[in-house]
Amino acid sequence: MKAIFLVVALAVAGASATAELAFIGGGALSMARRPESCAVSAVQMRGPKPSTKLKGAKVRSSVAKRFKMTAGGKILRRRANKQHLLFNKKHKNKKHAGKIGQVSSAMIKTYTQILSR
């Protein structure tokens, strides 16, 4: 009851709304209004809006170094087992490992998407 009379007395005297709320008793009512400088600084701290245009994905350079795409859509690769420890491998194995192979049909779709970015 006393708080209501104080608000009415302040309103009659011409006090501002923030002074009324601060005088009533603190708590949530005292922080009902922030100074305008806080609102302005929050807007100024934000950066520019991000652009809506998405960048295209890059070709993965590791895949680009290991595979080659032909004009016909085939994907070529090197075969394994031709890098080191060749002295204990048979001539036939080394000869076949030196050839260029094709990527399996199960992996063609994956590598085509990666190489065509």
Angle at 39 between CA 36 and CA 42, to 5 degrees: 150
Q: Is residue 108 part of a domain?
A: yes
Whether 69 and 36 map to the same domain: the answer is: no
| More confidently predicted of 12 and 84 | 84
Q: Report the 3 state secondary structure along 22-85.
A: HHHCCCCHHHCCCCHHHHHHHHHHCCCCCCCCCCCCCCCHHHHHHEEECCCCCEEEECCCCCCC
pLDDT of residue 62: 92
Domain with 27 in it:
2-45
Say yes or no: 106 and 67 in one domain: yes
> Region 87-102: what's the mean pLDDT?
96
Q: How many residues does the chain have?
A: 117
40 and 68 assigned to the same domain: no
pTM of model > 0.75: no
Considering the domain architecture, whether residues 74 and 41 belong to the same structural domain is answered as no
- For residue 6, pLDDT over 50 is answered with no
pLDDT of 12 above 70: no
Considering the domain architecture, whether residues 40 and 85 belong to the same structural domain is answered as: no
